[in-house]
Amino acid sequence: MLQSKSFVKKTKGGKVVKVVREHYLRDDIYCGASICKTCDSSVARLSSDASTIIIVDTNVVLNQIDLLENSAIDEVVVLSVVLEEVKNKNLSVYNRLRTLCSNSQRKFFVFSNEHHKETYVKAMVNESPNDRNDRAIRVATQWYQKHLGSAVRVLMITNDRENKRKANEEGISAETVESYVKSLGQPALLDLLARPASEDVVMDSVEDLRPSKRKVIYSEHKPMSEITTGLHRGIYHQGKLRVNRYNPFEAYVGSESIGDEIVIHGRTNMNRAFDGDVVAVELFPQDQWHAEKSRIADEEDEEDESVHLVQSSADDAPRSTNVQGSSADTTPSRPSGCVVGVIKRNWHSYCGSLEPMPMPAGAGGIAHALFVSKDRRIPKIRIQTRQLGNLLDKRIVVAVDSWDRLSRYPSGHYVQTIGEIGDRETETEVVLIENDINSRPFSSQVLACLPPLPWSVSAEHLSDPNREDLRHLQVFSVDPPGCRDIDDALHCTLLPNGNFAVGVHIADVTNFVHPGTPLDDEASQRGTSVYLVERRIDMLPKPLTEDICSLRSDVERLAFSVIWEITPQADIISSRFTKSVIKSCAAMSYVEAQARMDDSRLVDPLTTDLRNMNVLAKIMRQRRIDRGALTLASAEVKFQIDTETHDPLDIGMYQIREANQMVEEFMLAANVSVAEKVLKHFPFCSMLRRHPTPTREMLEPLLRTAAAVGLDLDVSSSKALADSLDRAVGNDPYFNKLIRILATRCMSQAVYFCSGDLSPPEYLHYGLAAPLYTHFTSPIRRYADVVIHRLLAASIGISKLPAIFQDRPQLTSIADNLNYRHRNAQMAGRASVELHTLIYFRKRPTDTEARIVKIRSNGFIVFVPKYGIEGPVYLTARGDNGSGEWLVDEQHQQVKKADSSICYNVLQMVRIHMEVVEPQPNRPKLELTLTE
């Protein structure tokens, strides 16, 4: 059974605990080459006609992962010693490498050299771990060459000079990355090479153009040991750096040690830290804490605030820079400081484009260019390219390699081209990449999990004792027009006792998506379908979403049903849950359903059912509002898209009808019923959705604005807030909605969580005023609902609970991923709307009404209700610091001219002109100007 030799590896962990672990060496680890005669070739990944097999060292993987991902590089052996080192140094690179190794299209083979009896090396006396690992790589390379014989050349790739020298001495062929890539004869590949920091000296050519030649721009980062000591003694503070999305020269570090956020002003103080880096910060003396400027743009001349969609929640709103209100001018109380060291980098690759520049004289040679990320929080990145002419008008992806003190900008390298700037498809692709959305077609393994088509309900389904036959019920669905993935349907019948039997039938997705299958894994990873303006990225393959699962009319479909008995007073007497077979009689749009209800001539059974339900829904809705549910408003817009060009034809606010609210009401009720049921059975492993109560600090901007217009809002509870929002009616009809929009954006987003991780009071859904809530009703497009379907099926005893629910950390990580995906999907949706707004206005300069929502020293931010967008209007010319011409009154939230001749108040209506301008070629943007 055991054919291995035992070894003992000693490591020192933590304090001085001596850790002893066994280390077994084996003789059944194969080389992975198909040509090999001695090894089991069933697991072979390297092709039989490979003339060269590459073995990479750790630093090559860490620095050149973009190159490795390029399909030009193949026949690679990844040693386990390399994997282990990469894992310890950079988890994201490790995951990328693992993906490469498991990709069946690529020829990457993992060789467990550390457990192979002929390639294991024991550390020698006084040999550092690094040297040992380098030696292990050389020994493995040598083993491969010996093992495979002369038919194949085994090449070690390393940029470590010492390692390469030793390899050559030992008769191993070794090359640097650069020379290997050059030997492939594809110059474009060279762009993918990450440039080592030392090469920065060559970069002088670009720096030379600047008047200040090679001077030290940033202060040195402190060595790690000093940082550790400093943190220990409380001189430095550790935290994650968050760059202000709306002002890239300002960042915040949330520090636990001082329990507050430290503000970092300017790039110099940020000292080369990127958004998301974990940094160590040193506080300035209190008298140097900056007074905060609430200006729209900031120092240097880079960018200014752009027009964007209004936020839907506090999570993606800019940090309110003027939190302490009027007191800000006199006693700045926010701690500020500077970054003294980066503890953990958050570098990844970024989407953007090159800064326009003239073509250098010797075209075709190496050019240096500056890359501007779409994400404004990221500084410009310096890259080298041999294809400048090609890239200038393209959207490209760039990765960061290094940032030394002498260079104003970090250095990076080109990764890939997405397409032409401004092209709708390219820009959509950028949106997807930036939000980490997987839009690749489903793999064949995933598609293999689908049932064969055409699919129909079989006798087997009907005879299943756990599945009720509800085909006799008059079930119908109401959805937005053109909806093809129908995941909910309803029915309502009058019972003999005068009560109603109301059913919510949800597509039975879990009947087709089984836990642990590639299909389930993929769906769990994607987390949600993503809705862009002109395109939808599905969570599940199309045959499922649009056909097999979709509850279309006049076909038999499997469903998971929630059936209540409801009194005419809309009290739920009983509820039950069952899998079922239904046959929808009508798939209506909201407009159709509304028209039926409104048309008093119609008295057919379907219309009667609709009306009954509507009556019930109205009572339920009123009851919910009485309980304190907030009716918040969002400024959702809708495009009319040209079917040919896919360009937007019209744009307008999304209209909400009674029919929408009716369907929504029953879906909410179903979700609540399911949440209660599931939690009762599985108190520790249910997946619920909660909406945290907003803190007073979060509501501060709302309160300040309200106070400025003389409105007193009570935010002590959701009920109080709902009531005071109801009372907030000005003389202007839009006023109430505007206040509601402002209130909505103060709230944080609702999140999924695992019930075992929190205590019941924290389960609260603030917005819905529901103590328990979950998502059950859209399993076709949300994975959370799939999870809940499985839980519900287990709680009514018709299926077993999948093993994953036994594992709380894993469940928590699923919830975290869903929140991440959900948020990204929303961001992508918004970005897509922004993109189409820009395309729309490109040909249509428009004058319209706007509302001032925020006051700044050189202008104000307006909200354009008609198009749901928000953007800055400048009162002073760019670069002009206001020079005292305009004065801001924080208390009354107004900005007025020094001579008091003109005054703008918050929430005031102004008329503006909207037009797309191109201050730089290929950089169109929407500009808002006052029309007086």
Write the DSSP assignment of 384-398 as a string of letters.
EES-HHHHTTEEEEE
> If binding is defined by CB under 8 A, does position 542 make contact with another protein?
no
Q: Which two tokens stand for residue 499?
A: 């009560």
**Positive or negative, the Cα torsion across 440, 446, 447, 453?**
negative
User: By C-beta, is 101 or 317 nearer to another protein?
Assistant: 101
Near another protein by CB under 8 A: residue from 23, 461, 552, 638? 23
Where does this chain touch another protein (CB under 8 A) — which range of 10-18, 236-244, 338-346, 631-639?
10-18
By CB under 8 A, the count of residues binding another protein is 44
Near another protein by CB under 8 A: residue from 574, 716, 806, 813? 806
Residue 484 CA to residue 536 CA, distance in Å, equals: 11
Query: Distances from the Cα of 622 to the Cαs of 183, 569, 617, 718, in angstroms?
Result: 74, 12, 8, 15
Smallest distance, Å, CB 560 to another protein?
22
Smallest distance, Å, CB 106 to another protein?
14
In this structure, what are the phi and psi dihedrals at residue 468, rounded to the nearest 5 degrees? -85, 145
User: By C-beta, is 771 or 802 nearer to another protein?
Assistant: 802
User: By C-beta, is 11 or 466 nearer to another protein?
Assistant: 11
CA quadruple 185, 191, 197, 203: dihedral, nearest 10:
100
Where does this chain touch another protein (CB under 8 A) — which range of 11-19, 415-423, 594-602, 821-829?
11-19
| Contacts of another protein in 60-119 (CB under 8 A) | 80, 98, 101-102, 110, 112, 114-115
> If binding is defined by CB under 8 A, does position 361 make contact with another protein?
no
AA letter at 182: K
> If binding is defined by CB under 8 A, does position 800 make contact with another protein?
yes
Smallest distance, Å, CB 801 to another protein?
7
User: By C-beta, is 98 or 484 nearer to another protein?
Assistant: 98
Phi-psi region of 414 (alpha: psi -120 to 50; beta: other; left: phi over 0): beta
How many CB atoms lie under 10 A from the CB of residue 107? 22
Are 238 and 257 contacting, i.e. CB atoms less than 8 angstroms apart? yes
Total residue length of the chain = 932
Alpha helices in 2-124 (DSSP H): 58-63, 65-69, 80-89, 91-102
| Contacts of another protein in 545-604 (CB under 8 A) | none
In this structure, what are the phi and psi dihedrals at residue 619, rounded to the nearest 5 degrees? -65, -45
**Contact string 509-538 vs another protein (x = CB under 8 A):** -------x----------------------
Smallest distance, Å, CB 29 to another protein?
8
Where does this chain touch another protein (CB under 8 A) — which range of 14-22, 326-334, 872-880, 897-905?
14-22
In this structure, what are the phi and psi dihedrals at residue 901, rounded to the nearest 5 degrees? -75, -35
User: By C-beta, is 615 or 801 nearer to another protein?
Assistant: 801
Where does this chain touch another protein (CB under 8 A) — which range of 5-13, 528-536, 744-752, 915-923?
5-13
User: By C-beta, is 24 or 654 nearer to another protein?
Assistant: 24
User: By C-beta, is 113 or 407 nearer to another protein?
Assistant: 113
Smallest distance, Å, CB 66 to another protein?
22
Smallest distance, Å, CB 102 to another protein?
7
Rg (alpha carbons) of the chain, rounded to whole number:
31
> If binding is defined by CB under 8 A, does position 42 make contact with another protein?
no
Query: Distances from the Cα of 60 to the Cαs of 64, 94, 107, 159, 171, in angstroms?
Result: 5, 12, 17, 7, 21
Q: Residue-wise over 140-149: b if at least 16 C-beta within 10 A, else e?
A: bbbbbbebbe
User: By C-beta, is 282 or 423 nearer to another protein?
Assistant: 282
Are 420 and 397 contacting, i.e. CB atoms less than 8 angstroms apart? no
Write the DSSP assignment of 805-836 as a string of letters.
GG-HHHHHHHHHHHHHHHHHHHHHHHHHHHHH
- For residue 727, give every residue at least 6 positions away whose Cβ sits within 8 Å of its Cβ, in sequence order, or none: none
Smallest distance, Å, CB 136 to another protein?
14
> If binding is defined by CB under 8 A, does position 2 make contact with another protein?
yes
User: By C-beta, is 228 or 660 nearer to another protein?
Assistant: 228
Nearest to 653 by CA among 434, 489, 866: 866
Smallest distance, Å, CB 8 to another protein?
6
User: By C-beta, is 227 or 715 nearer to another protein?
Assistant: 227
**Contact string 114-143 vs another protein (x = CB under 8 A):** xx-------x--xxxx--------------
Smallest distance, Å, CB 123 to another protein?
8
Residue 237 CA to residue 117 CA, distance in Å, equals: 47
Smallest distance, Å, CB 52 to another protein?
23
User: By C-beta, is 90 or 777 nearer to another protein?
Assistant: 90
Where does this chain touch another protein (CB under 8 A) — which range of 255-263, 726-734, 749-757, 796-804?
796-804
Q: Which residues pair with 506 in a beta bridge?
A: 488, 560
Q: In what order do the strands lie in the sheet with 894-897?
A: 886-889, 894-897, 903-905
Q: Which two tokens stand for residue 667?
A: 């879906």
User: By C-beta, is 81 or 473 nearer to another protein?
Assistant: 81
Neighbour-count burial of 480, counting CB atoms closer than 10 A to its CB (0-12 exposed, 13-18 middle, 19+ buried): exposed
| Contacts of another protein in 183-242 (CB under 8 A) | 225, 228-229, 232-233
**Positive or negative, the Cα torsion across 374, 375, 381, 383?**
negative
Residue 824 CA to residue 838 CA, distance in Å, equals: 21
How many CB atoms lie under 10 A from the CB of residue 880? 11
Smallest distance, Å, CB 559 to another protein?
27
Q: Where does this chain bind another protein (CB under 8 A)?
A: 1-2, 4, 6, 8, 10-12, 15-26, 29, 80, 98, 101-102, 110, 112, 114-115, 123, 126-129, 225, 228-229, 232-233, 516, 800-801, 803, 806
